[in-house]
């Protein structure tokens, strides 16, 4: 009778009503429930709910839960289920439930009132799809990726020993393929690449398209950091297989950046930024490789940016200055010239080495005005010494020239103008150029060098031996000085054994080569008496290094030369028989 009362009340409502016995057999159901599932009342009443309305793969598990729940009076009062309608459609129903008791208090069955929210669920799904998925690949988009990442972060905070990793995967040749085969082919490649990524990870991991040809992979619950690196290797191998796009096979590789989730992270964006940073590093180091983010990369990126901003102002604020390292006769230590070396007195960081800021200056193009300033400054200094001692016409001033300056079209004019303005004799100026600057554009370099040489300017090849120049190339350039890199000079004695022997042979070969070509040799970075003796025995005439002098501030350098006379002349006189 109770059922009849309930039925009466429910019939008029747009709700599914159902009464089951303790085994799941349908004792009654509402007309609305019939309408929604597509079955007639006759088909439903008397049948088992789970046999008719539940998907076969879930049937037994759900029946067991139900039977157990009813008997123990332990069913939740709110249950969401998906029913399978007669035509196969899914019907999503939210139920309010109640266990029915017999007069002895034992559970005898179940009553439920349900709302069909299939439409609403589909709307929500669609809505989620649009906002959280990439329409092309169907993968999660950046928003969804970040929200998953936030979840992983919060789990990390609460569970010790829980590791996760973010991989940023960037296709190396996507632009080439997109430009040459067209956008449709490009799109296909992206969809395929997305599939490959999904095939490389576990179902609980997230693969997202972050934008363009950049994908993100979130691997949650890793045993160790090594697993993330192994996964990067797996992904790279999988992407190396050719992609079939229409009739064409396209090849690509991937550069991967890895960031490991750690307690230092508060925000998901930061993890992603670091993985991105590592990916750029992988690209910069030659693509088709992976890099694991380290704290230092972030610091480096920030530091570089700050330095760049500061460097732009350094010239105007007189923070740059030049120091002068003597170049001496190896035998006597007498000064024959100086190399001008740039320094930066940073207002906060103190003195910064050119090794740390010349690369930034080169990257930003600032090296052109800065290099020009060094040239002027060095020439002004030399000129002022000559004013004090006009007999110093034998003294040379060497100035480093970056390859970026070397390629700048106005170099020749700048040099001419500097010589004119400062009144320095071109014969006293030497320009130091690295092998790579010559090799980047050998034809243009040969012309430019011939031109400079024609004016009497000296030309040195710097850091000789560290580049990859072939000797035949070297012969094409009108150079007059070879500077043997410090690495060979120190390696000649200090490393001992086989390495020392081969370094020694190399230095010997360079000195012999230079002599045969009529060139001077300067050994760089001579620090010990042992090195000096050996170099002298090999026939090297000139040297530079801490053994003789560190680079000096302009005042100290001046003291060294204003009263000097030509050391070569002195040597010449010394070898002559005494006069009279």
Q: Which of 144, 217, 282, 374 binds ligand C2E (CB under 6 A)?
A: 374
Query: How far is residue 534's CA from residue 517's CA, in Å, rounded to a whole number?
Result: 22
Residue 172 in contact with Ca ion, rule: CB under 5 A = no
Q: Which of 30, 206, 252, 544 binds ligand C2E (CB under 6 A)?
A: 544
Range list of H helices, 159-289: 174-181, 183-200, 225-240, 268-284
CA atoms within 13 A on the CB side of 284: 9
Most distant CA atoms of the chain, gap in Å:
148
**Three-state DSSP class for residue 525:** coil
Q: Which of 114, 216, 326, 371 binds ligand C2E (CB under 6 A)?
A: 371
From the CB of 484, what's the least distance to ligand C2E, in Å? Answer: 11
Question: Which residue in 174, 173, 154 sits closest to 164, CA to CA?
Answer: 154
From the CB of 322, what's the least distance to ligand C2E, in Å? Answer: 7
Q: Which of 37, 402, 422, 541 binds ligand C2E (CB under 6 A)?
A: 402
Residue 435 in contact with Ca ion, rule: CB under 5 A = no
Residue 178 in contact with ligand C2E, rule: CB under 6 A = no
From the CB of 564, what's the least distance to Ca ion, in Å? Answer: 22
433: enclosing H helix or E strand: strand 429-434
Q: Which of 175, 249, 365, 546 binds ligand C2E (CB under 6 A)?
A: 546
Query: How far is residue 345's CA from residue 349's CA, in Å, rounded to a whole number?
Result: 8
Query: How far is residue 272's CA from residue 184's CA, in Å, rounded to a whole number?
Result: 29
Residue 147 in contact with ligand C2E, rule: CB under 6 A = no
- First vs last C-alpha separation in the chain: 148
Question: Any bridge partners for residue 78, and if so which?
Answer: 96
Q: Which of 206, 400, 428, 469 binds ligand C2E (CB under 6 A)?
A: 400
24 binds, among ligand C2E, Ca ion, none (CB under 5 to 8 A by kind): none
From the CB of 418, what's the least distance to ligand C2E, in Å? Answer: 14
Instruction: Return the range that interacts with ligand C2E (CB under 6 A); candidates 51-59, 98-106, 544-552, 555-563.
Output: 544-552
268 binds, among Ca ion, ligand C2E, none (CB under 5 to 8 A by kind): none
Cβ–Cβ contacts within 10 Å for residue 164, how many? 23
Task: Name residues contacting ligand C2E, limited to 211-240 (CB under 6 A).
Answer: none
From the CB of 579, what's the least distance to ligand C2E, in Å? Answer: 39
- Of residues 206 and 403, the one with the C-beta less far from Ca ion: 403
Q: The tokens 């396209």 sit on which residue?
A: 250
Question: Could you give the C-alpha distances from 393 to 336, 397, 451, in angstroms and in order?
Answer: 11, 11, 22
Task: Name residues contacting ligand C2E, limited to 425-464 (CB under 6 A).
Answer: 432, 462-463
214 binds, among ligand C2E, Ca ion, none (CB under 5 to 8 A by kind): none
Query: How far is residue 436's CA from residue 487's CA, in Å, rounded to a whole number?
Result: 17
Q: Which of 400, 405, 422, 469 binds Ca ion (CB under 5 A)?
A: 400
Q: Find out whether 569 and 343 touch, Cβ atoms under 8 Å.
A: no
Residue 350 in contact with ligand C2E, rule: CB under 6 A = no
Query: How far is residue 203's CA from residue 471's CA, in Å, rounded to a whole number?
Result: 58
Site mask for ligand C2E (CB under 6 A), range 482-501, x = bound? ----x---------------
What crossing angle do the helices spanning 354-364 and 367-388 adopt, rounded to 10°? Answer: 130
**Three-state DSSP class for residue 524:** coil
- Of residues 114 and 337, the one with the C-beta less far from ligand C2E: 337
Instruction: Return the range that interacts with ligand C2E (CB under 6 A); candidates 276-284, 496-504, 521-529, 571-579.
Output: 521-529
Range list of H helices, 96-182: 118-132, 142-158, 174-181
Instruction: Return the range that interacts with ligand C2E (CB under 6 A); candidates 87-95, 289-297, 519-527, 534-542.
Output: 519-527
Residue 291 in contact with Ca ion, rule: CB under 5 A = no
Which tokens sit at 522? Answer: 């300067």
Q: Rounded to 5 degrees, what are φ and ψ at 28?
A: -155, 150
From the CB of 459, what's the least distance to ligand C2E, in Å? Answer: 14
- Of residues 196 and 323, the one with the C-beta less far from Ca ion: 323
Question: Could you give the C-alpha distances from 78 to 68, 93, 112, in angstroms and in order?
Answer: 16, 11, 9
Rg (CA), the chain: 40
Residue 432 in contact with Ca ion, rule: CB under 5 A = yes
The residues of the shown chain that bind ligand C2E, judged by CB under 6 A, are: 325, 341-342, 353-355, 358, 371, 374, 400, 402, 432, 462-463, 486, 524-527, 544-546, 551
The residues of the shown chain that bind Ca ion, judged by CB under 5 A, are: 400, 432, 462-463, 524
């Amino acid at each position: 009778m109770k059922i009849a009362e309930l039925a009466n009340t429910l019939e008029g409502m747009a709700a599914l009503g159902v009464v089951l016995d303790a085994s799941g057999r349908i004792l009654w159901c509402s007309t609305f429930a019939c309408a929604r599932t597509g079955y007639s009342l006759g088909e439903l009443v008397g049948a088992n709910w789970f046999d008719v309305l539940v998907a076969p793969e879930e049937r037994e598990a759900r029946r067991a839960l139900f039977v157990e729940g009813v008997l123990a009076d332990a069913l939740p009062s709110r249950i969401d289920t998906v029913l399978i309608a007669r035509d196969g459609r899914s019907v999503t129903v939210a139920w309010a439930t109640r266990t029915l008791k017999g007069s002895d208090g034992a559970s005898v069955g179940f009553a439920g009132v349900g709302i069909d929210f299939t439409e609403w669920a589909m709307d929500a799904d669609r809505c989620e799809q649009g906002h959280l998925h990439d329409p092309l690949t169907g993968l999660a988009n950046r928003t969804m990726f970040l929200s998953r990442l936030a979840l992983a972060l919060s789990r990390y905070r609460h569970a010790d020993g829980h590791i996760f990793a973010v991989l940023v995967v960037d296709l190396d040749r996507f632009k080439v393929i997109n430009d040459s085969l067209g956008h449709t082919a490009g799109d296909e490649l992206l969809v395929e690449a997305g599939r490959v990524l999904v095939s490389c990870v576990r179902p609980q991991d997230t693969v997202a398209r972050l934008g363009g040809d950049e994908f993100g992979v979130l691997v949650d619950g890793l045993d160790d950091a090594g697993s993330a690196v192994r996964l990067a290797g797996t992904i790279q191998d999988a992407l190396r297989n050719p992609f079939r796009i229409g009739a064409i096979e396209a090849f690509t590789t991937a550069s991967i950046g890895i960031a490991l989730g750690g307690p230092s992270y508060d925000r998901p964006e930061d993890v992603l930024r670091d993985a991105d940073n590592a990916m750029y590093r992988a690209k910069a180091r030659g693509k088709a490789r992976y890099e694991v983010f380290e704290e230092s990369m972030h610091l480096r990126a920030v530091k570089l940016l700050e330095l760049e901003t500061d460097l732009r102002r350094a010239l105007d604020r007189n923070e740059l200055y030049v120091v002068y390292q003597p170049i001496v006769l190896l035998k006597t230590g007498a000064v024959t010239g100086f190399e001008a070396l740039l320094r930066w007195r940073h207002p906060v960081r103190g003195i910064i080495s050119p090794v740390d800021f010349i690369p930034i200056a080169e990257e930003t193009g600032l090296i052109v005005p800065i290099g020009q300033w060094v040239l002027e400054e060095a020439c002004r200094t030399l000129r002022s010494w000559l004013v004090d001692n006009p007999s110093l016409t034998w003294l040379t001033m060497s100035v480093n020239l970056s390859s970026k300056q070397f390629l700048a079209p106005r170099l020749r004019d700048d040099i001419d103008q500097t010589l004119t303005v400062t009144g320095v004799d071109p014969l006293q100026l030497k320009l130091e150029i690295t092998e790579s600057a010559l090799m980047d554009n050998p034809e243009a370099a040969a012309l430019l060098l011939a031109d400079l040489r024609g004016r009497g300017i000296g030309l040195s090849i710097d850091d000789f031996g560290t580049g990859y120049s072939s000797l035949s190339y070297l012969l094409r350039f009108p150079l007059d000085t070879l500077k043997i890199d410090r690495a060979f000079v120190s390696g000649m004695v200090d490393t001992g054994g086989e390495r020392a022997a081969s370094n020694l042979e190399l230095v010997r070969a360079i000195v012999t080569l230079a002599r045969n070509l009529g060139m001077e040799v300067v050994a760089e970075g001579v620090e010990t008496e042992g090195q000096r003796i050996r170099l002298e025995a090999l026939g090297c005439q000139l040297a530079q290094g801490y053994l003789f002098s560190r680079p000096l501030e302009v005042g100290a350098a001046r003291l060294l030369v204003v009263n000097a006379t030509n050391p070569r002349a002195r040597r010449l006189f010394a070898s002559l028989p005494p006069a009279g």
